[in-house]
Amino acid sequence: MMQLYIDNKELGDYFEIGVLEYLQALSFPAERVNERSWVDKSGVDKNLENIKYEPKEFVVQLYCKATNEATAYTLVKVLVDYMYTKGVFVLSLRDSVRNIRECYLCERSGTIVGEINIREINSLYTFKLGLKDVNPNALKFKNTIVLGETTIAYDKGQTASIYWGNGDRGLVSNSGDYTKDDYIDDGIVDIIVDIDADAEVVIPLVADFEATPLTGIKPLDVQFTDLSSGDIEIWSWNFGDGYTSAEQNPLHTYNNTGIFTVTLQIFNGAKGADTKTIIAYITIDNAKLLINDAGDSFLINDAGDEFLIN
């Protein structure tokens, strides 16, 4: 028997709604392509990358059991309100007998079915639900949850939205393993990343840096050196004292005493990103002037270190 899930909520258990017809949801091929070419009037070939067709739309026929029409509308309203609240959600179709398991990144469609029209047929109230697959070629994972946890291996190296299949949404920003460990129930789950499954793989970014000197008396010039790897286009430094920089290797002057945490964020044109933070990295002390009997001048910091001036 076909089961339909919205964000891993089974319609029969959660919304008291069942599925009558689902075949239209399975009848469409992916409609997003990465590249197409054509000839314009001048005879010159033109290429556009990542042309996105209109999202595919389909109808799922559903039913609910109720004592009267008003109760049926109440049940359907809970489902529709959930979809509108989420905006975009994971729709899953599962049939263990026929070995069917498909998932879609969907939103409610008002184009095909402008309003919910409930009809009574043999004590069942039937209606059609219009849905829109917003990215037919999205990257999809069919995972199993064990002890409330599951992990995906993301390898595109680009920032994208991830829909964890339980109503939660997050971001993937670089290649690597992403784990979610707060699922309520174990079992299967469909996870979708809103990026083309055949999108270009971008070399992962790895943020790293060093600085010298790490301690001193104010004002102190500190040279920061970028040691990051990957195809980096943007550097964003936060020196911890309220100042920032977009240079790759900035020279920054600390004018205030304190212990400062430094953060470097890196980005590229393919929306890849990575961050490195070093807590309590730079220490700046006050200095005191001391003149001995010989007339020598010293600067003494709060740690007791002496610096001879003349």
Query: pTM of the prediction?
Result: 0.66
**Residue of 16, 6, 9 lying closest to 74 (CA atoms):** 16
For residues 28 and 22, the answer to whether their CB atoms sit within 8 Å is: no
Q: According to the model, what pLDDT value does residue 45 have?
A: 42
Amino acid identity of residue 22, one-letter, is Y
**Check whether domain 209-308 has CATH 2.60.40.10, yes or no:** yes
For residues 3 and 10, the answer to whether their CB atoms sit within 8 Å is: yes
Q: According to the model, what pLDDT value does residue 243 have?
A: 97
| CATH topology for the 3-36+49-196 domain | Elongation Factor Tu (Ef-tu); domain 3 (2.40.30)
Q: According to the model, what pLDDT value does residue 157 have?
A: 83
- In DSSP terms, 187 is beta-bridged to 145
The domain segmentation of the chain, as residue ranges, is: 3-36+49-196, 209-308
**Residue of 162, 170, 218, 215 lying closest to 191 (CA atoms):** 162
Amino acid identity of residue 174, one-letter, is N
Element (H, E) at 86: helix 69-86
- In DSSP terms, 149 is beta-bridged to 146
Please list the rounded mean pLDDT of every run of 10 residues in the chain (310 residues): 89 90 72 45 42 70 88 91 93 88 90 75 84 90 97 90 96 91 95 90 88 93 96 94 97 96 89 90 78 61 54
- Specify the long-range contacts of residues 67-70, CB closer than 8 Å, at least 24 apart: 69/118, 69/120, 69/125
- Give burial (CB, 10 Å; 0-12/13-18/19+) of 103: buried
Residues 257 and 235: their CA atoms lie apart, in Å, by 26
